Each structure stands twice: as structure tokens, then as C-alpha cells.
Structure 1
Amino acid sequence: MKAISSPDDHRLACVDIIRTVGFPVNNTDSFLLKAPAEGSTCPGMRELSPPPLNLKRLYGETLETEPLLLIISAGADPSQELQDLASQTVGRENYHEVAMGQGQADVALQALRECVRSGEWLCLKNLHLVTPWLPLLEKEINSMKPKAGFRLWLTAEVHAKFPPILLQSSLKITYEAPPGLKKNLTRTYESWSTEQISKGGHLTRAQSLFCLAWFHAVCQERRNYIPQGWTKFYEFSLSDLRAGFEIIDRLFEGGKVFQWEFVHGLLENAIYGGRIDNVCDLRILRSYLQQFFNAQLLAQSHTHSRVKKTHAFPAQIRLPNSCSIADYRAVVDALPEDDKPSFFGLPANIERSSQRIVSSQVISQLRILSRSVAAGSKFDREIWSNALSPVLNLWKRLNQGSSLIHQKVALPSEGVGSPVLSFVQLEQFNGIRLVQSIHQSLASLSKVIRGTSLMTADVHKLATALLNQECPLSWQNKWEGPEDPMQYLRAVVFRALAIQGWVERAERAGLLSETLDLSELFHPDTFLNALRQETARLMSCSMDSLKFVTSWRGKITEAQLQVKIGGLQLEGCSFDGNRLSESHHDSPSVSAVPACHMAWIPQSTAGSYSPDECISLPVYSSAERVCVVTNVQLPCAGDHDTWIQSGAALFLKQQ
């Protein structure tokens, strides 16, 4: 590494570092790269992280002969910002876009040649989809002699086969949602002009736009806490923010009476909510909309009363009674650099869960890096033996002392016995068949490794998946379990052994009188449906006329048939059997909850709790929050939004 011996060396070193990580460098003061004062170690920087990307500021550093490559990430789309910049700079009619894909190569080359001749702007989007064509684009760029004013904008996701020469000849900019609530809001208010905020002199309009910017930032930053924040990554982008801006802008036109229901409905059903396909996530979004867009919030700011914690903003934040963009930027500048979980309504111990998830992801990535690319492509006895021995040895240990591999069980007859008994017998049959199927496939693999059997296509597929530390598709098709093959094998044997006890108790009609653990079943949701069917038969009514209820106080007096379920775990808050309570910073991320009674009762019958004193939370089959088993009612106090936004959910006991 080059030694830094002077202020100029110090500045150049900073420039090199910033160029290395892919950020544009402004040679004046974009990054505050100034010579440090004597004895100082910081060259005038207020912070280490760069400011949010501003394409307008970036444009001043560009040349017509140098393409601008925007490296985008999921949920980041620069199209709208580029269109706005073009409209302000060269006019919208002088800006052209081509979305790359099948059959667009000739269209792109023709548009490039025309823009080069006329000095207009061209954006070629999603180049990662056409990497084989990029060398041709590279030659066209090298041979062009553009007219002054021409700009070539390129967008692409990270791709291993992107031509390095085109990469090196372009000005590279990473384009993604800025990290942190403060930077997200800063970027939004940099993209909005003074006229946009103060238009019409409507105070409520200016404050509503701040609520929109905050709401947009919260939706994006909550993705850092998957799966407790959102269950998956949703591509909320600047296009959503712009659509929300236009909604608020139009609702204030012509002195119309502002109606928050329109904002809630459009943002939930047409814009942000249109990206969400999970019922629990949609409930979180709806909760945010109710808190960020309501007349009470703005009325509090008009009377100079501080917004309480249960409302949209932190306690120290107060909406400005102003239409000046400078006042709103001052509020943003006063925010802390590090986000607090309370900004999103998440519990104080969310970092524990987040760190656990990140650790799992790092371990998974390390496993991917350890994969041998050549291992699965062709048979190598030594490589296969060394890599697959842990799986084969684990399977042998799991089945020691059990008769699952050789056990014979007949397919239960339909319509014989109660629905619950029929279910557990079928569960036993499928579990044993799955164990024996896995054993047969692993035995075939073992014979190939030992050289006593010939390679087949099925064995090769099985070995390839296991060498890549993936659960074989042939197994997942029979039961959708953990992705890790070692965990999958443990889960299968655990359930296959446990269901034997369920069958014995069900055959002597003692199953429903004991405390049951749903994690011992392959299909726990089907068990609850069988309980529903048996209840309907007992009550001589239709299944549709029944509703599912839970009780943590004891038996459900209204139920003729019920079951006691234990082993549930809770994340996002705490529960002692009486009331939900918020988690503290030192609270465990996941805690056990007492056993509860579950039953199906008539729709017209009141349950153990009134709707106002309880909240319905999902019960997932695992902490990954992929498969919902059922929803249960838990007694709580206070605002339901507290528990909704905390991402509270229950899981079956993890093995």
C-alpha cells in the first residue's frame, strides 16, 4: 500500500478508495475531500459513509464519451430519476430508453447510433439479461464519435459474465436504497424541490409529504429485519414513492376536501400493497398507513403537542408547522445516524434475531463457497466418499435401534374410524414410506461409492444435490421440510418415530386428552382440519359453520371437542399466559409460551376472548416464517398496532 506523506497524498488515497468501491468522485467538494489540518486525521469529513447518490450532481462529472453504468440492486430502479433529470437538463423528448431482452439488440444499436448523431440521451436497461451481446455493444461504443450533449446510461445487476473491458471503460455507480432511515429521507428530500413542497401553501399537504417520505423509508428499511420485519424482500422503490406523491398532490388540487381513506386504499391496494403477497405483511402495511396518514397526527402538530410513541414518529420528532423544505430537511438532519428498532415499531431485542439470521446467512454462504464445482459434474470416488460420508453416517446413526426401515404398515382404509384416527394413521404410513424411500436412495448412493453398483441418473442427481449441501428435490416432493439435508434427515426420523406414539394413543381413544406437540407431525395444519371434521360430525353440522378458537385460561367450555397444544414458541414479544408484554433489550429473541387449548365451535358462539381484548397471531411451522399452520388468539392490552408492527408470531418447537 502506498504511504500517505502529504495532504495531497491523503486526498488522492481517499479518491482511490472511493473509486475502488464504485462511488463517483467529485473533484471539488462532493465528498468533502479537503486537506486535513495539521495534526488532524480527518480530512474535513463529517462521516465515513458517502452522501446519498444524486444523479443531478453526478451529471456534472460526466462526459459524452464515457458510459455511465448504474449497478442496481433488487428494489432499486433509476428509470424515474433519470427521466426527471433528462426533463430538467435536455428535455424529455431528447431522452430514450430501451429495456433489454429478447429481440431488443438491433433496436438498441439503432437507438444508440441515432442518439450519438443527434447528441441525445439513451438508457439501456437490464444489461445483465443480454451478457452475450455486450461485446458487440462494447465495439459500438469504442467506435462512436458522439455529438456534444450525448450521454449513454446503462443499468445492470451484478453478473459474473459482464465484460470486464466495458466495466472498466464506464463510470460505475452503485444505485440502491441508501442504508438507514436518515439517509433514505435525505435522498427523498434531495429529489424533491422547494416548489414541490410549498405548492399552494397547504401546510397539511407539506406535512403529508413528510409522512409519505417517512412511511416509504420505514417500508424499505424494515427489509433489514427479514423475516420478522417483513417475511420476504419486497421491491419497494422510488416509483412507489413517486406514485404516492402524485396521489397526495392531486388530492389537494382545487381545494378538495382531503380524505385519508383514498390514501389508505390506493397505497394499500394499488401501490405498496400491490407488491405484498403475505397476509401478515399486509396487516403490518395497513397498520403503518393508519398511523402515518391520519388527521389526528397532523392536528397534534398544529397544536405543538409532541407525537407519542404509539404514533408515527419517535417522541423527539415533531412535524414542522411550515411549508418550507428547509424545515423538513432540518428535522431529517437531526435524526440519529443509527436506526432504533422503535422507529419501525420493532421490539428492542430485534438485533438478537437479526444477528442470528445474519449468522445463519454467513454460514450458508461459507458452505456455498466450499462447494466443489467439479464434484457433482463427474463421478470421483474419493471426492464423493469424503464429502458424502457425513450424510450417510448421520442416516445410519439416526436409524440405530429403530425398525422404521423394515417396518411394514398398510395404507389405512378410507371412511373407517374417526377423522383424527384416520389422519394419524395416514401420517404414520406416509412417514414410514418417506423414511424407506430415503433409505433406498442413500443405499444406492452408498453402493455406487463402494463400487458394487452402477451409476444411474437418479443417483447422480441425488449426489449432486447433497454435494451442494441442498436437499434433493425427490425428497422435498414427498415432504417439504428444511433445505439443509442434514436437518431434513433429522426432522424426518424425529417425526416418523413420534407419530408412532400418536397412533397408539389414537387407537385407544386417548389422544385428545393429552398435551400434544404439533412439531411432531409432518402436516400439523391437516391435523387441525381433521379435528374440525370430527367436531362437525359430533355436532351434526357443516364444517363451514365452525370457527377456530383458542384459550390460555383453561378448557374451552363452549367446545364439545378440544385439544391441548404445547411446545409453541413466541418471537416479537413475551407472553405469560395472561397478557402480551413488550420485549426488552435483554429479552431472549424467542421464548416458550404456556400450553393452550384449541377447538372448533359454532360461529354464533362467543369464544374465550372478545375481539377487543385479544389479537390473532400466526403460528408458523418454522422460524423462517414460510408456512402458516394456523392463527391463534392471544390476550393483550393496549393498541393492537404495537403487536402487529413488532412482527409478533408463534412457531412450532424447533428440533
Structure 2
Amino acid sequence: MFLLTGGVGLDNPNPNPTDWLVGKCWDELCRLNDLPNFAGLMDHFKKNTAEWKKMFDSSEPQNHRLPAPWDTKLNLIQKLVVLRCIRFDKIVPGVQNFVTDMLGKKYIEPPPFDLPSSFADSHCCIPLIFVLTPGADPTAVLLKFADDQGFGAARLFSLSLGQGQGPIAIRLIDEGVKNGTWVVLQNCHLAKSFMPSLERICENLTPDSTHPDFRLWLTSYPADHFPVLVLQNSVKMTNEPPKGLKNNIIRSYLSDPISDLEWFENCKQPLQMFLNDYEDIQYDALLYLTGECNYGGRVTDDWDRRCLGTILAKFYCRELVEIPEFPFDPSGKYFCPDKTEYDEFMTYTRSLPLITNPEVFGMHENADIMKDQQETSLLFTSTLLTQDAMSSGSSAKSPDEVVNDVAEDILCRLPPNFDRDAANEKFPVTYSQSMNTVLVQEMTRFNLLLTTIRTSLKNVQKAIKGQIVMSVDLEQVVTNMLTGKIPGMWMKKSYPSLKPLGSYVNDFLARLSFLQKWMDEGAPTTFWISGFFFTQAFLTGAQQNYARKYTIPIDLLSFDYEVLKGTQFPEAPADGVYVYGLFLDGARWNMSIMELDESYPKVLYDTVPYIWLKPLKRSDLQEKPTYRCPVYKTSERRGVLSTTGHSTNFVIAMLLPSRQPQSHWIMRGVAMLCQLSQ
């Protein structure tokens, strides 16, 4: 269980002896030291940091020998646990090595996609489900297979599920059951309301009343609302796309057919007529046609559309046409070949490197580390779903003891709820100071979360003692605490966070302390922008103070941003606010030139200095070489629109000085985060 969760803990009294191992990994290493087989590991690490750094710096740490005596003392699975603490991003290849040694290499090689075999395992009453993965579309393969089996256009009916498509799907299935046709229902995950009807239909299919040739094909991404009964009684298939740019291009060229020629001809004629009206190529028009008309309806987020437009501009450009073998990356290995024949394109594609460097996509080399970390997190999260969190594993304490201790530890550190009445009396609503309202509103939101956490922990302790019934919600809290995750009951009342449980509690207490200090000592000279529950209210308050001071309509205002070198400010600025607490993702802040700069290798995030947010009229904002950098609450970088009209994750876009063009940092995926996921 430690391999999957990294253990559960709140505070770590042991200081990190290095500047290269991140705090989260050091905390896990200290918790690992408490397990019997790893006793003494922490002291050994402190005394032999140079040896451990060799493993940390290795390009293949999963194959690197552990410093003596741990390499001979630990078995393979125990070495994986140590690897988690040192190089979390290399767990997946480490697990592959473990499976190869224990079971054999064939268990890590994906089997070829065999649709005929899956079809042979089915009959008229058993649905066939394609479990979809990003980048893989089984439709073309299915249509070709259906044609080969004699189920062409006249005997195969396909429907993409969505709003209002349920009755049509039921009619197609009824006709198929009678006449023996094939029915393909695509994107079942988008038709939540139709899933109960689908479950009843599949449950009522019997060999006596169903045509033997009938087949029901379903495609769906994994979804909680997909009927379990249908899933259990079906033939399940998945076809993950190959990894790497080279393999994906080859797969596209080998797909049968590459494109529908009739469809291509129909599209080509109006496009040719459009282009013939101009003497030269209209790049802007083509860019708009592709980015806004073709993809625009599916890419709804403004920042995603900005990224899409920047990527397309790399290919829809004059240089691509005028420069022979125009390179797409600094190495020059990826370029537009001056070829016309299919075989020539295939020959060039097969010559590309097997492993794709992130720079090909305009990203920093650190992007590989982040990708690997996400793969590891996905592996552990998926595996945890199959585990019994109540199993004690190698821990000396029982699960009930662990939960009770963690709950008691958190409860001892929780302060009492904020006194709203005292806050209203000390910071009354005034025309000239909107921050008073911001403070009281923040206290109200945090009180609600504080009450939820305190009540749930007390009830968990009572349930463990048998004083009350362990409800489903409380059982989920216990499971989350044992796996080091934030309980869902808390998240319903909480600000967005991807932190593990221990880090979340510490972050929550720091936010409470920030507000309490504001309450006790008055408004601070600098504001922890990441500490607000609803950050947009704070930003609006800063603009509102300026608008009322100078009698300017607030909807005419914007912010200018000045990154500061100082860290101590004896008094607040006359206009605007000083803020801190942001992190740069995808770049770093160069203090010597006071501009954005490239990240250091293996340093994924950089702390942003203090920033002066200066309200001003939007018309007075001067044009400068800057990067318009989005600010998000978490690294997930996506959210939903709340009832206030604001995103639950996106905060604001800040202008940061930069010598590089906007497109450079957009391709790098540079953003600022209010909190890290560690």
C-alpha cells in the first residue's frame, strides 16, 4: 500500500538535507523509514547524499543500483518503493522491469488488436464494447470488418448518442433484433440519461427472441454511470494509440483507407474555388478555416483555442511553402519533405527517431518528466481502485488506529471558527474599502469548510468506536484518509486542490492563519493571493477601491503588472495591491534580467516574486513586449463555470515581461499556478 500512496502523514519534523530532492519525496522517504524493512534508510540517506544523488541524476534510475547495503538488502518490490521516493517519474519503467523479471516480457507487450477473435466470442445477446482512449477511434476498423462480414451500409446502422437520440437508438435496436442487422451506438458516456434504458434492453435480450445475426456494438470512454451489468456481460475491447510521433504518423498512413476520396474531392472543389480567387495563398483565411470552423466548435476554452491557433500557425505559414524542407524543430530532423509519392513519405517517416523529444512540440525537456509523473499517478490511482484500503499491509498499526490517529492529529490543530460578528464590527462595510467585505466573505466560506472537516472527523472517531453507524459518506472519508487523499465530503465545500491529504491540511491551516492575522492586525501590506477561497472577489475588490477613489466605472478598468525585486514592504501601495504565492509552470523568472526565461533541467516549477497589481483604465495600458500568462488555482488547468460566471479554476491573465514572442511560451505551455500538487 505504501508504494501506491506514499504513506499518510501531516508534519515532518526532519529537515530536508538536500536542495535537489523535493519536499514531497523527502516526506515519503521519512515515512518509509518507519516501516520495519526500511529502518535506518533516512539516516543512510543523510550520510550518503552524494551516492543517492547519482541515482537521482541518472537517466535510467530504475536500472541504477541502490547505494550499499540497500541494493542487496531489499527485494525488487521494495526497491520500487525506494524508487517512488527518489524518482517518482520513473515508476512505470520500474514496474515494467518488475513484471518482466517476475512473469516474462510478454506481459508488458500489448497484444495486437484482434477484432475477429472478439467477434467470435460474442453472440446476439452479448454486446461488444470498445473502451475508448484518447487518440484512438475504432470506427474505421469496425466499418471495414463489418463490410468483410457482409454487413455493409444496408445492414449496419450507426448512431452517435447525445441529447434526444435515445428513442432513435431504441428503434434501431428493435429493428436489429427482428431483422438481424448490426447497431453501433457511439459515445455512450455522453448519454447518461439513456444508460438505464440500455441496461434494460440488454437485460431483456434472449436467444429465442433475438435474430442470431444481430450484434450491438457500443463505444464509450470510462464513465461512472455506464451500467455495470452491461459491462460485466459484454465482450470488452480497447485499442490504445501507439506512443511517439513516428508511430502515430505511420499508423495514420497505414490506416485503411487514409481518407475517403469522395469526401476529399467534395471538400477540395469549394476550397480550390476559394483559393483561385486570390493570386497568393491566404494563410490567415486557411488558419481561420481550420482553427475556428473545423475545430472551433469542439475547442471551447479560449486558452485552448489560443494554443490550437499557435500550433496551426506553425504549419500554415509562408516559410513552409517557400523554404525547401522547412524544419519544424531545432534539430532539423522533423521537416516537410519535398515528396509527392506515398512510398517516399513512408520512407521519410520510418527514418524519424523512435523517441520523440519534447522540443519537437515546442516544449521544454522538463515536459517529459511531467508526462512520466502523470503516467505514474494514473497507474497508482487505477491500481488503488482495485485495492482494499482497510488492509493493514506492512504497517505496525491497524487501519482503525491509523485513521483515529490522523483524525485526532488534524482535530488538535484546527482552530475555532471565525467570529463573523466581531469581524463585521471591526471591518464594517465602507464605500472606500472593499477589502473589508472580501475578508468577511472569505471567513464565511472557510467556516463552512472548517465545520465540515471538524464534524466529519469527530463522526469518524465515533464510528470507529461503535458509537454511531459508519455511513457510506463516513466510510469514504476513512478510505480517503488511508490512501492519503482529500475526502470527497470535504471537496464539496472546499476550494480546488490536487494536494495529498497531509499537504492539503497544512495548506488549509496556513490559509486560516492568514485570515486570522488579517483579523487581528488589520489589512496586510502584501496579500497571499493563493490563500483566498474565491480569488476573483479579492481582485474585484482591488479594482473597486481604485474605481471609487477616482470615480471611474469599474468595467473600464484593467490591471497592469509589475514584478518586484524586493521582499519586504513597510507599507501598502497607494493604488493596487502587492501579491505573492504564485508558481511558474513551464518557465522560470530570471531575477537578473527581470523577465521570463527557460526552466532549469529537472526544476519543474519556479516561485514567482512579489507582483504589484496596478489598476488603471484599459485605454491607458501601454503596449510592451509581454507574455499574457493565464493564472490557475491548480495544475489541472481546467474547471467549470460557476453560478457567479467565473471559472472554478482559471483566475486571471497576467502580463509578464518577455523578449521571446508570445508563441514561444504558448508552445511551452507556460502558466502560473496558485498551488502545486504536492
Structure 1 length normalisation: TM-score? 0.67
Confirm or deny: 8 A CA contact 2:184 2:218 kept in the other structure.
yes
Question: Distance in 1 between the 2:151 and 2:274 partners?
Answer: 31
Confirm or deny: 8 A CA contact 1:618 1:631 kept in the other structure.
yes
In structure 2, the partner of 1:179 is 243
Q: How much does 1:425 deviate?
A: 4.0
In structure 2, the partner of 1:275 is 298
Question: Distance in 2 between the 1:95 and 1:253 partners?
Answer: 36
Unaligned runs of 5+ in 1: 1-44, 200-241, 376-381
Pair 1:189 & 2:253 matched: yes
In structure 1, the partner of 2:584 is 570
Q: How much does 1:289 deviate?
A: 1.5
Question: Distance in 2 between the 1:294 and 1:616 partners?
Answer: 23
Which of 341, 366, 387 is the matching residue for 1:324? 341
Identity fraction in percent: 21
Q: How much does 1:355 deviate?
A: 2.8
Please state whether the residue corresponding to 1:252 is helix, strand or coil: helix
Question: Distance in 2 between the 1:359 and 1:472 partners?
Answer: 21
In structure 2, the partner of 1:35 is none
Pair 1:139 & 2:199 matched: no
Please state whether the residue corresponding to 1:275 is helix, strand or coil: coil
In structure 2, the partner of 1:111 is 176
Which of 607, 610, 623 is the matching residue for 1:595? 610
Question: Distance in 1 between the 2:476 and 2:325 partners?
Answer: 64
In structure 2, the partner of 1:92 is 153
In structure 2, the partner of 1:622 is 634
Confirm or deny: 8 A CA contact 1:435 1:492 kept in the other structure.
no
Q: How much does 1:285 deviate?
A: 0.6
In structure 2, the partner of 1:398 is 413
Confirm or deny: 8 A CA contact 2:497 2:634 kept in the other structure.
no
- Aligned in 2, Cα 1:248/1:391: closer, same or farther, shift over 3 Å? farther
- Aligned in 2, Cα 1:280/1:342: closer, same or farther, shift over 3 Å? same
Q: How much does 1:157 deviate?
A: 5.7
Q: How much does 1:255 deviate?
A: 6.9
- Aligned in 2, Cα 1:472/1:417: closer, same or farther, shift over 3 Å? farther
Confirm or deny: 8 A CA contact 2:445 2:533 kept in the other structure.
no
Confirm or deny: 8 A CA contact 1:69 1:156 kept in the other structure.
no
Structure 2 length normalisation: TM-score? 0.65
Confirm or deny: 8 A CA contact 2:632 2:650 kept in the other structure.
yes
Confirm or deny: 8 A CA contact 1:131 1:161 kept in the other structure.
yes
Pairing 1:29-48 to 2, within 5 Å after superposition? none
Confirm or deny: 8 A CA contact 1:181 1:339 kept in the other structure.
yes
Amino acid at match of 1:619: V
| Deviation digits for residues 129-187 of structure 1 (CA, Å, limit 9, x no counterpart) | 5355446557369x8666xxx998665667764576753xxxx7533433322222122
Q: How much does 1:599 deviate?
A: 1.3
In structure 2, the partner of 1:464 is 476
Which of 532, 541, 550 is the matching residue for 2:543? 532
In structure 1, the partner of 2:658 is 636
Pairing 1:120-159 to 2, within 5 Å after superposition? 123=184, 125=186, 129=195, 130-131=198-199, 133-134=201-202, 137=205, 139=207, 155=219
In structure 1, the partner of 2:522 is 506
Amino acid at match of 1:275: R
Question: Distance in 2 between the 1:109 and 1:188 partners?
Answer: 36
| Deviation digits for residues 40-64 of structure 1 (CA, Å, limit 9, x no counterpart) | xxxxx9x97778x6x9xx7799889
In structure 1, the partner of 2:507 is 491
Confirm or deny: 8 A CA contact 1:421 1:503 kept in the other structure.
no
| Deviation digits for residues 225-273 of structure 1 (CA, Å, limit 9, x no counterpart) | xxxxxxxxxxxxxxxxx89x97567413697355444432243234333
Confirm or deny: 8 A CA contact 1:519 1:621 kept in the other structure.
yes
Q: How much does 1:493 deviate?
A: 2.0
Pair 1:552 & 2:566 matched: no
In structure 2, the partner of 1:361 is 378
Question: Distance in 2 between the 1:479 and 1:156 partners?
Answer: 31
Question: Distance in 1 between the 2:614 and 2:132 partners?
Answer: 46
Pair 1:78 & 2:138 matched: yes
Confirm or deny: 8 A CA contact 1:580 1:636 kept in the other structure.
yes
Confirm or deny: 8 A CA contact 2:564 2:610 kept in the other structure.
no
In structure 1, the partner of 2:316 is 293
Question: Distance in 1 between the 2:451 and 2:203 partners?
Answer: 52
Which of 329, 341, 345 is the matching residue for 1:309? 329
In structure 2, the partner of 1:523 is 534
In structure 1, the partner of 2:36 is none
Which of 428, 431, 435 is the matching residue for 2:450? 435
Comparing 363-372 with 538-547, greater Cα deviation is found at 363-372
Amino acid at match of 2:627: I
Amino acid at match of 2:176: A
Question: Distance in 2 between the 1:248 and 1:468 partners?
Answer: 55
Comparing 86-95 with 480-489, greater Cα deviation is found at 86-95
Comparing 574-583 with 363-372, greater Cα deviation is found at 363-372
Question: Distance in 1 between the 2:274 and 2:309 partners?
Answer: 28
Confirm or deny: 8 A CA contact 1:135 1:163 kept in the other structure.
no
Question: Distance in 2 between the 1:648 and 1:82 partners?
Answer: 40
Q: CA RMSD in A?
A: 4.4
Q: How much does 1:621 deviate?
A: 1.9
Amino acid at match of 2:315: F
- Aligned in 2, Cα 1:443/1:165: closer, same or farther, shift over 3 Å? closer
Unaligned runs of 5+ in 2: 1-105, 190-194, 567-572, 639-648
Which of 355, 360, 366 is the matching residue for 1:349? 366
Q: How much does 1:448 deviate?
A: 4.4
Confirm or deny: 8 A CA contact 1:405 1:435 kept in the other structure.
no
Comparing 346-355 with 387-396, greater Cα deviation is found at 387-396
Question: Distance in 1 between the 2:416 and 2:118 partners?
Answer: 73
Amino acid at match of 1:96: F
Please state whether the residue corresponding to 2:494 is helix, strand or coil: coil
Amino acid at match of 1:580: L
In structure 1, the partner of 2:19 is none
Question: Distance in 1 between the 2:456 and 2:109 partners?
Answer: 55
Q: How much does 1:618 deviate?
A: 1.3
Please state whether the residue corresponding to 1:292 is helix, strand or coil: coil
Please state whether the residue corresponding to 2:238 is helix, strand or coil: strand
Question: Distance in 2 between the 1:140 and 1:77 partners?
Answer: 34
- Aligned in 2, Cα 1:246/1:443: closer, same or farther, shift over 3 Å? farther
Question: Distance in 2 between the 1:437 and 1:563 partners?
Answer: 32
Question: Distance in 2 between the 1:370 and 1:126 partners?
Answer: 29
Comparing 328-337 with 153-162, greater Cα deviation is found at 153-162
Q: How much does 1:632 deviate?
A: 1.3
Confirm or deny: 8 A CA contact 1:287 1:641 kept in the other structure.
yes
Amino acid at match of 1:252: Q
Pair 1:256 & 2:276 matched: yes
Of structures 1 and 2, the larger Rg is shown by 1
- Aligned in 2, Cα 1:534/1:95: closer, same or farther, shift over 3 Å? same
Pair 1:579 & 2:582 matched: no
Q: How much does 1:404 deviate?
A: 5.1
Please state whether the residue corresponding to 1:600 is helix, strand or coil: strand
In structure 2, the partner of 1:202 is none
